[in-house]
Amino acid sequence: ILNVEQSPQSLHVQEGDSTNFTCSFPSSNFYALHWYRWETAKSPEALFVMTLNGNEKKKGRISATLNTKEGYSYLYIKGSQPEDSATYLCATNTGNQFYFGTGTSLTVIP
Partner 1 sequence: NAGVTQTPKFQVLKTGQSMTLQCAQDMNHEYMSWYRQDPGMGLRLIHYSVGAGITDQGEVPNGYNVSRSTTEDFPLRLLSAAPSQTSVYFCASSPVVGTGNYGYTFGSGTRLTVV
Query: What does the binding site for partner 1 look like in residue numbers (CB under 8 A)?
Result: 1, 4, 31-34, 36, 42-46, 48-49, 51, 89, 91-93, 95-103
Nearer to partner 1, 21 or 36 (CB): 36
Q: What minimum distance in Å lies between the beta carbon of 107 and partner 1?
A: 17
Nearer to partner 1, 17 or 65 (CB): 65
| Cα separation values, 10 from 3, 4, 17, 62, Å | 19, 16, 15, 17
| Cα separation values, 55 from 9, 11, 40, 41, Å | 24, 25, 29, 31
CA–centroid distance for 105 within its chain: 11
Q: What minimum distance in Å lies between the beta carbon of 14 and partner 1?
A: 27
Q: Are 94 and 31 in contact (CB under 8 A)?
A: yes
Nearer to partner 1, 46 or 109 (CB): 46
Q: What minimum distance in Å lies between the beta carbon of 105 and partner 1?
A: 12
Give SS3 for 4: coil
Output the CA angle 30-31-35, nearest 5 degrees.
100
Q: What minimum distance in Å lies between the beta carbon of 2 and partner 1?
A: 10
Nearer to partner 1, 42 or 60 (CB): 42
